[in-house]
Amino acid sequence: MQIIPIIELLEGRCVSLVKGNLDDPMLWHVDPVETARGFAAAGASGMGVTDFDAIKGGQGNDDLIAEIILKAGIPVQVGGGIRTTERAEHWIAQGAAQVVIGTLATQMPEEVKALAMRHPDQIVLALDIWQGKLMTHGWGTESALDPVLFLESFADVPLSGVIVTDIDSDANEVDKQLGVISTLGAATRHRVIGSGMVDKLDDIASLKYVSDISAAIIGRALMRKAFSLEDALSVAQPEPEPVAHLG
């Protein structure tokens, strides 16, 4: 299972949110660019950046994100507030390995599908789930779309993957989240990435055996130093197959 460390930005600073609450962020006193370099040094094969200012309509983090893409040393996935195909094209042109799209896909699905056709394996679909409902606009608006049917409508689109976040659980109820992600995982052949599901190393040890999950995004647990990225990457590795000894 791949581990994807993530930096979440608000006004140029690294933060974490609890259940998507932008009004009460947890602030981390770390340098975003150096943190990204640290992810690479620890052995991560890729990382993510989420721009919370962009969710609110701002672009004040653009230069910082561009610097992270340039200096991280590993592929960078950019998400947060990508509400137009032009904005997605902007980040691809800036060198982002993938862009994460949620709200835009619910509003203009055909445009997003066309975007993915132009940029195969560079568009990641984000599904944010709250009490079984598909949420949009930074987790603030409940959509009338059925999450499973919505995901199935992208079956033939060359996505890089699908990120599933169970906002209601928020890393405290992994068993409940597994039910949500398994239901959606069964509805797609795309690579499924769990977000907000890891709070301790034991969570990684459990997740890597779930067939519907191929990657896990980790942010807050790394920022609060619940464990090291090196340890997370080690735990995520598959167990060696037993070797039969012939006598």
Q: What is the full per-residue pLDDT of the chain (247 aa) written as tens digits? A: 999 999 999 999 999 987 667 778 899 999 999 999 999 999 999 999 999 999 888 999 999 999 999 999 999 999 999 999 999 999 999 999 999 999 999 999 999 999 999 999 999 999 988 877 888 876 667 778 889 999 999 999 999 999 998 776 554 555 666 777 878 888 899 999 999 889 899 999 988 888 888 999 999 999 999 999 999 999 999 876 555 555 4
CATH architecture of 2-236: Alpha-Beta Barrel (3.20)
Distance CA 192, CA 214 (A): 6
Which sequence positions are flagged as catalytic? Answer: 8, 128
User: What pLDDT score does 238 carry?
Assistant: 82
CB-CB contact of 20 with 69 (8 Å): no
CB-CB contact of 172 with 199 (8 Å): yes
Scanning the structure block, which residue is given the tokens 């034991």?
A: 202
Element (H, E) at 66: helix 62-71
Scanning the structure block, which residue is given the tokens 């032009």?
A: 86
CB-CB contact of 162 with 188 (8 Å): yes
Distance CA 81, CA 14 (A): 17
Q: What is the pTM of this model?
A: 0.90
Domain positions in the chain: 2-236
